[in-house]
């Protein structure tokens, strides 16, 4: 009896030896400008070649501007980094989806959208949110630059087997509660290090009922719970999403692939080192209040007071967070005013996210004290949203409508919070300074961010008056 | 990678849980394409004011800890982003060892690949170490990777677990890629069998 994780592991085992890490084959290597230059340089210095350029794909996302991308970058160092990626891809024969391509986008939006992500694959990228691809039943995880170089040179990684962690989410999601709230609720439950050393398999009826976009949102933030990776067993929803994508198998290959993918489920009675059950009916929209992704509360709750801290160390963390976030203990969440709203990132920038947010926005204007922007996950999504009329809704309401990129999720470009600014953000990390030095990030779902942009403070989107 | 020798050095405490790699090295320094020179940016937003002057209250600006080569931190140190710039900046600043109750997986891995030793110790011992760095002037530790021990002036105070293979690689400064390439034939065989 094997878990899904064990099955994928076993199918990629190149070499195993007692007392040493195993050698695991990597099916797909995604690269971007920030974590690859030193790896390419390492190859060059050692006189090694890139073993499988045909399994390596690049795009540009982290440090690029989301306006005027055709003009020279304002930041000469970022410009040099992008130029370096272009040169490296040319020299080593890697296919690069550059800024002039419709396919360009955030690497974890791009891969699935192009059909590069298949169930059962092993996928790595020098980016911790590689866990996103686990939504397809692929074993996908982030690696550092040394490992990027290792994969370049060998198409393998030295790995130790992780533990199995199952999270069952059962029941129907209440209205206004989204996949983002599922994962924020899970992280709240297990803690920011609850998944360390584990691969999480998300299962249960709620997960089954999610779209691929929703599943990607859940798996994306596995790393925020400390997990090595997140996995969801592939099913018809998965196959339907992959089908017809540019790099999806075609014809007979497709039939063979699907037959194989259908075997990618956890066998009944498999052993899990850890199991957590979540009741979907008890979930609400979540809002983070602190500077760690597990520091969240339900929208109907208040900022926790010190009586909620588990120990003395946590008392000190809470005190530090109140101060950094400019919040008072027991302050109601819907009394928190925001200055900025950011809808985007590899967590929540897909077409479904934009459709949901647009429904909330339709017929409203954003608050005059809020600066809000929508940054689609790829240029393809941008175009689709324009064709569907979503862009018009956002623009008419006062949102800025940007080009694809990581943007203010990590603020490596000029999309950045000013000190003290407070942001309702659909991204994945509320760390100190993540969106700009002194910036205050509250993680929420796209519909919660949209509603906050309109009212100027957090509101319970379950009570939203939709204008059709 | 250089061989990891026994490290004896001054200990600095940075005792918070969940110190993420965004704090260790903020994103504005990730656009560089080099592997070196990141020490100047270590804990930038905590250590330095916007004008570049040191923040007097930050522990690494305290003269007592100047030149520390061992950092003691709270649980889940190095969580978050996969940026290898985090161990690069710690090493470049002068740290060779980080002691914490637990680490983010990717950071842990990245550290080993660069000769920065992450030592997992029980939270109670970490709490005690933090206290000692605050009460004993010039509190130093000796980290012996060969024997997996942590010792202070009073003798060995803890032993730590580390994967034997990783320990061997660190002690001998071995190149991971070189080791994997010894299995070249197996990789090729796997590729042809699996149709890749």
- Give exposure, B54-91, as e/b (b: 16+ Cβ within 10 Å): eeeeebbbeeebeebbbbbbbbbbbbbbbbbbbbbbbb
The backbone torsions φ and ψ at residue A350, rounded to the nearest 5 degrees and listed phi first, read -90, 170
B22 in contact with A, Cβ within 8 Å: yes
**A196 with B105: Cβ contact below 8 A:** yes
Q: Let me know: does B19 contact B90? Beta carbons within 8 Å.
A: no
User: What is the nearest CA distance from B46 to chain A, expressed in angstroms?
Assistant: 10
Q: Which of A223, A3, A8, A233 is nearest to A129 (CA)?
A: A223
Which of B31, B76, B104 minimises the CB distance to A412? B31
Per the prediction, chain B carries an average pLDDT of 96
- Please name the residue of chain A whose CA is at the shortest distance from the CA of residue B124: A313
Site of tokens 């692929």: A138
**How far apart are the C-alpha atoms of A167 and A177, rounded to whole Å?**
18
Measure CA A365 to chain center: 28
**B109 with A147: Cβ contact below 8 A:** yes
Which of A81, A150, A411 minimises the CB distance to B180? A150
Contact residues, chain A, for B50 at CB < 8 Å: 437
What pLDDT does B1 receive? 76
For testing contact with chain A, the best of B180, B182, B183, B196 (most A CBs within 10 A): B180
Please give the average pLDDT of every successive group of 10 residues along chain A, which has 468 residues.
Answer: 98 96 98 98 96 98 94 92 98 98 98 98 98 98 98 98 98 98 98 97 98 98 98 98 98 98 98 98 98 98 96 93 98 97 98 98 98 98 98 98 98 96 98 98 98 98 94
Which of B33, B187, B194 minimises the CB distance to A81? B33
B81 in contact with A, Cβ within 8 Å: yes
CATH node for B7-193: 3.20.19.10
The pTM assigned to this predicted structure is 0.97
What pLDDT does B2 receive? 78
What pLDDT does A313 receive? 87
**DSSP conformational letter for A350:** S
Contact residues, chain B, for A21 at CB < 8 Å: 163, 165
pLDDT in tens, B1-56: 778 889 999 999 999 999 999 999 999 999 999 999 999 999 999 999 999 999 99
**A128 with B82: Cβ contact below 8 A:** yes
**DSSP H or E stretch at residue A353:** helix A351-361
**How far apart are the C-alpha atoms of B48 and A353, rounded to whole Å?**
38
The domain locations on chain B are 7-193
List residues bridging with B48 in a β-sheet. Answer: B54
Indicate the angle between helix axes B164-172 and B105-112, nearest 10 degrees. Answer: 40
- Other residues' Cβ atoms within 10 Å of the Cβ of residue A460: 17
């Amino acid at each position: 009896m094997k878990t899904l994780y064990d099955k994928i592991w076993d199918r990629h085992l190149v070499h195993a030896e007692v007392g040493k890490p195993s050698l695991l084959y990597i099916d797909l290597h995604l690269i971007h400008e920030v974590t690859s230059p030193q790896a390419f340089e390492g190859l060059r210095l050692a006189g090694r070649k890139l073993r499988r350029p045909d399994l390596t794909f690049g795009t540009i996302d982290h440090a690029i501007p989301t306006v005027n991308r055709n003009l020279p970058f304002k930041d000469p160092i970022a410009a040099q980094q992008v130029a370096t990626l272009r040169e490296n891809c040319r020299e080593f024969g890697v296919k690069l989806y550059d800024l002039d391509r419709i396919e360009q986008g955030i690497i974890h939006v791009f891969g699935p959208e192009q059909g590069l992500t298949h169930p059962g694959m092993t996928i790595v990228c020098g980016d911790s949110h590689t866990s996103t691809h686990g939504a397809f039943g692929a074993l996908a995880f982030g690696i550092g630059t040394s490992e990027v170089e290792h994969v370049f040179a060998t198409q393998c990684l030295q790995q130790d087997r992780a533990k199995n962690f199952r999270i069952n989410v059962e029941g129907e999601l209440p209205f206004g509660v989204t996949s983002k709230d599922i994962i924020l609720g899970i992280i709240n439950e297990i803690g920011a290090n609850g998944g360390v050393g584990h691969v999480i398999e998300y299962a249960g009826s709620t997960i089954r009922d999610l779209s691929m976009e929703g599943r990607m949102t859940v798996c994306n933030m596995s790393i925020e719970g400390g997990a090595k990776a997140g996995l969801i067993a592939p099913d018809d929803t998965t196959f339907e999403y992959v089908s017809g994508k540019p790099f999806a198998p075609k014809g007979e290959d497709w039939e063979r692939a699907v037959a194989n993918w259908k075997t990618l489920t956890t066998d009944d009675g498999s052993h899990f080192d850890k199991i957590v059950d979540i009741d979907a009916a008890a979930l609400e929209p979540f809002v983070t209040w602190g500077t760690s992704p597990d520091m969240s509360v339900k929208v109907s709750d208040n900022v926790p007071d010190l009586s909620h801290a588990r120990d003395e160390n946590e008392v000190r963390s809470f005190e530090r967070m109140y101060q950094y976030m400019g919040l008072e203990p027991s302050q109601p969440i819907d009394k928190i005013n925001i200055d900025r709203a950011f809808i985007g990132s590899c967590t929540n920038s897909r077409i479904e996210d934009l459709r949901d947010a647009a429904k909330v926005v339709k017929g409203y204007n954003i608050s005059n004290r809020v600066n809000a922007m929508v940054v689609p996950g790829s240029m393809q999504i941008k175009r689709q949203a324009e064709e569907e009329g979503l862009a018009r809704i956002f623009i008419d309401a006062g949102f800025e409508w940007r080009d694809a990129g990581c943007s203010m999720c990590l603020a490596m470009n000029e999309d950045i919070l000013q000190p003290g600014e407070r942001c309702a953000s659909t991204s994945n990390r509320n760390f100190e300074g993540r969106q700009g030095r002194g910036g205050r990030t509250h993680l929420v779902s796209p519909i919660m961010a949209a509603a906050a942009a309109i009212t100027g403070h957090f509101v319970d989107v379950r009570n939203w008056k939709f204008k059709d | 990678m250089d061989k990891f020798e026994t490290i004896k050095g001054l200990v600095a405490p940075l005792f918070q849980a969940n110190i993420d790699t965004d704090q260790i090295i903020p994103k504005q320094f990730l656009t560089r394409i080099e592997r070196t020179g990141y020490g100047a940016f270590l804990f930038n937003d905590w250590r330095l004011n916007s004008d570049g002057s040191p923040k007097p209250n930050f522990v690494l600006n305290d003269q007592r800890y100047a030149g520390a080569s061992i950092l003691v931190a709270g649980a889940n140190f190095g969580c978050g982003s996969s940026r290898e710039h985090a161990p690069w900046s710690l090493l470049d600043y002068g740290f060779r060892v980080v002691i914490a109750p637990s680490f983010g997986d990717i950071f842990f891995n990245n550290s080993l690949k660069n000769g920065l030793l992450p030592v997992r110790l029980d939270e109670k011992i970490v709490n005690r170490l933090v206290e000692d760095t605050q009460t004993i002037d010039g509190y130093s530790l000796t980290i012996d990777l060969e024997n997996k021990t942590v010792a202070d002036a009073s003798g060995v105070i803890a032993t730590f677990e580390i994967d034997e293979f990783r320990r061997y690689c660190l002690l001998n400064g071995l190149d991971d890629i070189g080791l994997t390439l010894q299995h070249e034939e197996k990789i090729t065989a796997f590729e042809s069998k699996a149709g890749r």
